[in-house]
Amino acid sequence: MQTYSSIAQIIVALAIVIIWVFRFYKVEVEFRSYHLSDLTRNIVGASKISLSTLLVAGIWYPGLVLVPALLMALLMVAAQYFHFKAKHPWLYHVLSFLLMILCIFIAAVSLKLM
């Protein structure tokens, strides 16, 4: 299971980097549609990138994984809320939902529940 968790950690980290670095212009538009401030957007982005970095570092240092996985899952729950509130297309919902499920899986493996 640890191997699958490591793969999930990399997938989550890559998805966050792609969205928050290479597609940042889309993030700006989305946060405007949520009526959230630039400061909020920057805090969320910095948090997600930091948590992603910790998830990748957790491949070598497993003690780092649980808290970032749970916090990232919580951020994905918030993303679900805002996607529903803004009535975004289902693709937006599916992507954040899948990342949330992966984070819950990572946390469960970290707790040795799986």
Tens of pLDDT, residues 51-79: 999 999 999 999 999 999 999 999 999 99
Give the domain extent around 21. 2-110
2-43 confidence digits (pLDDT tens): 999 999 999 999 999 999 999 999 999 999 999 999 999 999
Q: For position 89, what pLDDT does the model report? A: 86
Q: Which residue reads 């992603």 in tokens? A: 52
88 pLDDT tier (thresholds 50, 70, 90): confident
Task: Give the 3-state secondary structure of 49-102.
Answer: HHHHHHHHHCCCCHHHCHHHHHHHHHHHHHHHHHHHHCCCCHHHHHHHHHHHHH
Q: How far apart are the first and last CA of the chain?
A: 7
Domain count, the chain: 1
